[in-house]
């Protein structure tokens, strides 16, 4: 939930997905890219990580980013621990750390052999968000590790979203908020769409907040404009 503190606005965005899908790597790469200072957001302080020596997240990672245009707007960006059996910790990160979550980026390990595991995580996310994805919680997808062989296509993943009722038909007002599906690589030197996908979720989060009072805004005028509020 949007939090106001000392005149600033804090929005919470969570990278959610199975173990080793690349959530921590995405946050590391986003941090490096924005640290250069040439993007619309800039990191404040260092990343905080609670992890194992192996690099697997034990609880969460967190980075804080500030909008350069609207200096009062801050994004608190979390990753969850993806291991099976860590569901209670994910729920805690999602609902309790700092505030309730405002927006989700679902990170898929695109390798076909992990197809079922990704779906299991999507179902878990649906359950903890109590079917508020898209309607109240902006939602986008990263098909990560697209640099590897035998990876899932965006058409296949959109079919999963349709099966799970996470995709609105063109005649529905919410159609414009259907999740964009990015094919990404998180490795810094081969990075693809790491900033672009973050920018889109930040933009949607701000629009839900400003024009939808915390829900997906359905006023036609808003959808027609490409307001950049980050
Ligand atoms: N080839 C390739 N490897 C990646 C990519 N993203 C992450 N990796 C690698 O995948 C492994 C796991 O990445 P992490 O970022 O730790 O994954 P995670 O989702 O944070 O995992 P948990 O913290 O256990 O939930 C690491 O060895 C990364 O270098 C990618 O886009 N392509
Ligand atoms: Mg991690």
Tokens of 209: 């907040």
Here the tokens at position 163 are 């099966």
219: nearest Cα among 207, 229, 228:
207
Q: What is the pTM of this model?
A: 0.96
| Cα-only R_g, the chain | 17
Which ligand has the minimum distance to the alpha carbon of residue 28? 1
Distances from the Cα of 62 to the Cα of 65, 76, 118, angstroms: 10, 7, 22
User: Which residue among 14, 15, 24 has the greatest number of ligand 1 atoms within 8 angstroms of its CB, and so is best to mutate?
Assistant: 24
Q: What are phi and psi of 179, to 5 degrees?
A: -65, 130
- Residue nearest ligand 1's atom 3 by CA: 145
Which ligand 1 atom is nearest residue 21's CA? 19
Whether the per-residue pLDDT at 227 is higher than 80: the answer is no
Task: Considering every ligand atom shown, identify the ligand nearest to the alpha carbon of residue 47 and give its number.
Answer: 2
Average pLDDT over residues 73-81: 97
All residues with CB under 5 Å from ion ligand 2: 23-24, 57
- Read off the pLDDT band of 210 (50, 70, 90): confident
What's the burial of 163, exposed, middle or buried (CB within 10 Å: 0-12/13-18/19+)?
A: exposed
The vertex-98 CA angle with 92 and 101, nearest 5°, equals 65
- What is the average pLDDT across 44-66? 95
* Cβ of 183 less than 6 Å from ligand 1: no
Is it the case that residue 4 has pLDDT exceeding 90? no
Rounded Cα distance, 42 and 30, in Å: 10
Q: Is the pLDDT of residue 230 over 70?
A: no
pLDDT band at 226 (very low <50, low <70, confident <90, very high): low
Ligand 1: which of 19, 20, 61 to mutate, judged by most atoms within 8 Å of the beta carbon? Answer: 20
Looking at residue 43, its pLDDT comes to: 98
In short, whether 111's Cβ falls inside 6 Å of ligand 1 is no
Burial of 190 (0-12, 13-18, 19+ CB in 10 A): exposed
Give yes or no for residue 197 CB within 6 A of ligand 1: no
Residue 5: per-residue pLDDT: 87
What integer is the mean pLDDT of 207-211?
90
Give the model confidence (pLDDT) of 151-178 as tens digits.
999 999 999 999 999 999 999 999 999 9
Ligand nearest to the CA of 21: 1
Query: Strand pairing of 181-183 and 139-144?
Result: parallel
What domains lie within the chain, and their CATH numbers? 3-224 (3.40.50.300)
Ligand 1 closest atom vs CA 186: 31
- Model pLDDT for residues 96-135, shown as the tens digit of each residue: 999 999 999 999 999 999 999 999 999 999 999 998 999 9
For residue 61, is pLDDT > 70? yes
pLDDT for 111 equals 98
The Å distance, Cα 22 to ligand 1 centre, comes to 3
The residue whose C-alpha atom lies closest to atom 1 belonging to ligand 1 is 145
Digit-coded pLDDT (tens) for 39-52? 999 999 999 999 99
- 193 contacts: CB under 8 Å, gap ≥ 6: 142, 182, 183, 184, 185
Q: What is the β-pairing status of strands 41-51 and 57-67? A: antiparallel
């Amino acid at each position: 939930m949007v939090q106001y503190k000392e005149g600033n606005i804090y929005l919470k965005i969570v990278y959610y997905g199975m173990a080793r899908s690349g959530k921590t790597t995405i946050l590391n790469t986003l941090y490096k890219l924005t640290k250069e200072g040439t993007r619309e957001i800039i990191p404040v302080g260092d990343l905080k990580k609670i992890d194992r020596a192996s690099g697997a997240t034990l609880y969460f990672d967190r980075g804080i980013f500030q909008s350069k245009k609207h200096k009062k707007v801050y994004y608190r960006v979390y990753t969850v621990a993806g291991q099976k059996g860590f569901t209670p910790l994910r729920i805690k990160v999602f609902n309790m750390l700092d505030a309730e979550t405002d927006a989700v980026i679902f990170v898929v390990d695109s390798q076909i052999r992990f197809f079922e595991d990704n779906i299991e995580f999507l179902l878990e996310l649906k359950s903890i968000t109590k079917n508020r994805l898209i309607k109240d919680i902006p939602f986008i997808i990263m098909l990560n590790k697209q640099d590897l062989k035998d990876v899932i296509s965006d058409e296949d993943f959109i079919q999963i979203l349709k099966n799970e009722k996470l995709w609105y038909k063109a005649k529905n007002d919410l159609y414009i908020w259907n999740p964009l599906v990015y094919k990404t690589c998180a490795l810094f030197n081969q990075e693809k769409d790491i900033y672009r996908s973050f920018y889109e979720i930040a933009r949607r989060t701000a629009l839900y907040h400003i024009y939808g009072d915390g829900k997906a805004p359905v006023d036609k005028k808003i959808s027609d404009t490409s307001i950049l509020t980050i």
